[in-house]
A = this chain, B = another copy of it.
Amino acid sequence: MENKGMKASFNTIPGSVTAPQGFRSAGVFCDIKRLGTGKGSARGHKPDLALIVSDAPATVAGLFTTNQVCAAPVKVCLARMGKGPVQAIVANSGNANACTGKQGMKDALEMARFTEQALDLPDGSALVGSTGRIGLSLPMDNVRAGIVEAAVELGSTPDHAARAAEAILTSDTRRKEMAVEFALGDRRVRIGGICKGAGMIQPGMSATGRRPAAIPLHATMLCFLTTDAAIDAKPLQTALNHAVAGSFNRITVDGDMSTNDTVLILANGLAQNSKPQLSKPKSKDFLIFQEALNHVCLTLAQMIVRDGEGASRFVTVKVNGARSFAEADAAARAVANSALVKTSWHGGDPNWGRVIDALGYSPARIVEEKVDIGYSAPGSKKVLWSLRRGQPTKASFEALYAAVGFAEFDLHVNLNVGKSGALIYAADLTENYVEFNMGDVNDPDSLGG
């Protein structure tokens, strides 16, 4: 997915979901956690409801958690995929609306319907997202009040996008926004996106919410993308599938796959590029669009890992030489989710013994005498090998410590039993992660999804 030295055909621009033509957004505080007014205003007024609206009907594509326990908003989105154009996304933080039974489904549908009514949009044209604590019913009076306020606040400045980006955060420490611009023929096209996610992060999303064999078991993460490209729904879904496979489905913070993971993209066509041209797989236009979308998704996905709960390191685990992609992926995830490997990263300890231990219990076929393990600066091919063909190298402890003493580094594994590879972007495991997730009953912000 990385841009391998080729000049990219897109430029990064300021802003996010309101950067493409014809999109407006808002983020408002409606007290979804029902903090009441007794709480300090700094906390009490963090926005918790986001609204993103397209001025024109948009084609839509989406990917959703493959967790067998799937939140009501995800079910509503799944039911609305492929049923025609969409014009709005309404999303809240502070409550996942998951494991909330029939009331939860009613509430998620009501969020969508109330949004459609408030904005005078056709039935079925609003989608829903939620993130926060599982098992609590939404405070619908607050949600309705929030939607009314958000509809009034809608605007297309970068500030409006920033407020929407703020409103979907839970345990995140910062907003996650991104936009790019590129040319299709003589038209300028933009893609913008916001996302959230800091814990319960190891997405394994599919377009159907069902788990294809190819998608391994693995946050709440939410990502809402907008584009003014003119493209049919089917190629849009194809492009999103590919972009997510190389980005959000390749990250892990804590190995826990959420009930609410959702990625949505709306394409409203206002850029007036050639729709037939862009909708043709492998056309030059499609490849340019795909490259730009890949970049937006990968950048947003990496922001999630860098802002992972308590995270102090960003490690790219690169496994090569596996018998199949599935085995390379399983091996990389075993390493990236091992509590012992993750704590050693936090400590800056080049404990490759824990790495080979995790490889050994992974479902991937490995042969101890063939395994290489090494470290490099991010993206560098200058690898310091600690293990070659199962034998410790002469690399000194000091050199190995130096190699992992950075906030970001790459961990290289070559299994040397095949030709397949996979990589995973992972956070370390820190005291702060534990402290945060112990859950303080007196601090609703700490009760993540």
Binding site for B on A (CB under 8 A): 66-70, 96, 98-101, 133-136, 199-200, 204, 217-218, 254-259, 338-340, 343-344, 346-349, 351-354, 356-363, 365-369, 371, 387, 390-392, 397, 401, 429-431, 433-441, 447-449
A200 to B430, CA, bound (A): 17
Q: Copies of this chain, how many? A: 2
Asked if B438 and A343 make an inter-chain contact with CB atoms under 8 angstroms apart, the answer reads: yes
Which chain B positions have C-beta within 8 A of A67? Answer: 357, 360-361
Name which of A135, A362, A366, A429 has the most chain B CB atoms within 10 A of its CB.
Answer: A135
Which chain B positions have C-beta within 8 A of A99? Answer: 353, 356, 368, 387, 390, 392
Name the one of B254, B391, B440 contacting A340, with C-beta atoms under 8 angstroms: B254
**8 pairs of A and B residues whose beta carbons are closest in the complex:** A134-B353, A347-B438, A69-B360, A349-B439, A343-B437, A67-B360, A431-B431, A257-B361
The residue on B at minimum CB distance from A339 is: B254
Given contacts A135-B352, A256-B361, A391-B101, contact A437 B68 (CB under 8 A): no
Asked if A354 and B434 make an inter-chain contact with CB atoms under 8 angstroms apart, the answer reads: no
Which chain B positions have C-beta within 8 A of A362? Answer: 217
12 residue pairs from A and B, CB less than 8 Å apart: A68-B366, A70-B368, A99-B353, A99-B356, A101-B369, A101-B391, A200-B354, A256-B354, A258-B357, A259-B360, A344-B437, A347-B437
Asked if A368 and B254 make an inter-chain contact with CB atoms under 8 angstroms apart, the answer reads: no
Given contacts A256-B358, A357-B200, contact A346 B434 (CB under 8 A): yes
Name the one of B96, B344, B448 contacting A439, with C-beta atoms under 8 angstroms: B344
Which chain B positions have C-beta within 8 A of A439? Answer: 343-344, 347, 349, 351
